[in-house]
């Protein structure tokens, strides 16, 4: 208390009680060294001081600058850490997937919406496949009914004036396979959402989309990858987003 009250005081007042080592003044070579010292101190407090992890707090001015080196240091030292932060929820892959799916079916299957949906990583295509499909789509400015009609795309994958050959036919077959992989769950979602007349029906339509995408398994796999990379907070965030989403659907259905 004395230290907190007089830290910025320039008076001559001094502490009159019994000295102790509860407050220490240290110097470090840089931010990384500071964070490593904090991690080492936390481990010592738990191992030798009888503390629990939740009893320990690390505070820093301008904490956003410290966040990554602090999380990295605690991860290397094998110590758990939770860093509080404010985040734009709609920028996260799961909320973005939901928002983009509705933008697609309500907005006329615009290419930008389709690729926002696919770029979340949960729409059935990996990054390379998204790039390949996107290059073709923007080359030929395909949107709307180009996505929803049953016929395969037949435009040459290399652009105007090119003659089809065996290689281009194989490329085109692959592009159509990517298109079908991307659109099939969305087509079913469009049908189910259009037929729904209640909030419960909409919740069921969205839940069916999640099942078609095997979303729960993909989220778990992504969380496990993040955990292995030492990004425990991000892994926990994925689990929390899934729980929040499922809870919201259940509430919509109940209401």
Its pTM stands at: 0.67
Alpha carbons 126 and 116: distance in angstroms, whole number: 13
Alpha carbons 87 and 64: distance in angstroms, whole number: 12
Distance set, CA 76 to CA 35, 230, 252 (Å): 11, 8, 42
The arithmetic mean of pLDDT across residues 97-103, rounded, is 96
Alpha carbons 36 and 45: distance in angstroms, whole number: 14
Q: What is the pLDDT of residues 40-91, one digit of tens each?
A: 999 999 998 889 988 899 988 777 778 878 888 888 888 888 876 655 666 6
Residue 50 backbone class (left: φ over 0; alpha: ψ -120 to 50; beta: rest): left
Sign of CA dihedral 20, 24, 25, 29: positive
CA–centroid distance for 55 within its chain: 29
Residue 222 backbone class (left: φ over 0; alpha: ψ -120 to 50; beta: rest): alpha
Per the CB < 8 A criterion, the answer to whether 193 and 202 are in contact is yes
Alpha carbons 76 and 185: distance in angstroms, whole number: 41
More confident residue, 224 or 179: 179
Q: What is the pLDDT of residues 118-139, one digit of tens each?
A: 999 999 999 999 999 999 999 9
Q: What is the pLDDT of residues 148-207, one digit of tens each?
A: 999 999 999 998 888 999 999 999 999 999 999 999 999 999 999 999 999 999 999 999
**pLDDT category of residue 8 using cuts at 50, 70 and 90:** low
pLDDT, residue 109, reads 97
The radius of gyration computed from the CA coordinates of the chain, to the nearest angstrom, equals 27
Per the CB < 8 A criterion, the answer to whether 41 and 4 are in contact is no
CA angle 109, 115, 116 (to 5 degrees): 100
């Amino acid at each position: 208390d004395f230290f907190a009250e007089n830290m910025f005081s320039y008076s001559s007042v001094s502490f009159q009680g019994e000295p102790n080592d509860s407050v220490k003044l240290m110097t470090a070579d840089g931010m990384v060294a500071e964070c490593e010292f904090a991690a080492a101190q936390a481990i010592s407090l738990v191992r030798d001081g009888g503390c629990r992890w939740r009893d320990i707090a690390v505070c820093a001015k301008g904490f956003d600058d410290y966040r990554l080196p602090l999380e990295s240091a605690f991860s290397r030292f094998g110590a758990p850490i939770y860093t509080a932060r404010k985040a734009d929820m709609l920028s996260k892959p799961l909320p973005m997937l939901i928002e983009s799916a509705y933008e697609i079916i309500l907005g006329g299957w615009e290419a930008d919406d389709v690729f926002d949906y696919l770029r979340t990583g949960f729409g059935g295509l990996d990054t390379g496949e998204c790039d390949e499909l996107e290059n073709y789509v923007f080359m030929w400015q395909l949107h709307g009914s180009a996505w929803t009609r049953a016929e395969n795309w037949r435009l040459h994958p290399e652009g105007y004036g090119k003659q089809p050959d065996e290689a281009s036919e194989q490329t085109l077959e692959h592009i159509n396979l990517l298109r079908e992989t991307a659109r099939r769950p969305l087509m079913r979602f469009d049908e189910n959402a259009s037929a729904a007349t209640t909030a419960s029906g909409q919740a069921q339509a969205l839940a069916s989309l999640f099942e078609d995408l095997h979303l729960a398994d993909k989220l778990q796999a992504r969380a496990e990858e993040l955990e292995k990379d030492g990004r425990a907070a991000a892994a926990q965030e994925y689990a929390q987003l899934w729980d929040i989403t499922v809870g919201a659907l259940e509430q919509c259905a109940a209401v």
